[in-house]
């Protein structure tokens, strides 16, 4: 789980073009100024590439925070 969060940190920094962006399991879209619906799609696509998996649309629409995304990725990777 810590490895997933760390790797996801890199994805966030790349997508939002902010090397100082720090995320935690509790981070929500409301806490990242550029995280709107378009950036959410971009972020999910970047996460798919980084973790070499594909999300179903229903899996990512209801995510409440980064922790839920980490848990989803870990489940999908069998971790």
pLDDT at 59: 87
pLDDT at 21: 96
The tens digit of pLDDT for each residue in 22-77 reads 999 999 999 998 999 899 999 999 999 999 999 998 888 889 999 999 999 999 99
Domain borders along the chain are 2-76
CATH for 2-76 (1.10.1200.10, 1.10.4190.10, 3.40.30.10, 3.40.50.2300): 1.10.1200.10
Radius of gyration of the chain (CA): 11
Q: How confident is the model at residue 12 (pLDDT cuts 50, 70, 90)?
A: very high
Three-class secondary structure of residue 19 per DSSP: coil
pLDDT at 75: 94
| Separation CA 50–CA 44 (nearest Å) | 10
CB 16 within 8 A of CB 35: yes
């Amino acid at each position: 789980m810590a490895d997933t969060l760390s790797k996801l940190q890199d994805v966030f920094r790349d997508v939002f073009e902010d090397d100082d962006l720090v995320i935690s399991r509790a981070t929500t879209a409301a806490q990242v100024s550029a995280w709107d619906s378009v950036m959410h799609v971009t972020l999910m696509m970047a996460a798919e590439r980084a973790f070499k998996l594909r999300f179903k649309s229903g899996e990512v629409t209801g995510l409440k925070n980064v922790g839920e995304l980490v848990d989803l990725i870990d489940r999908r990777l069998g971790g």
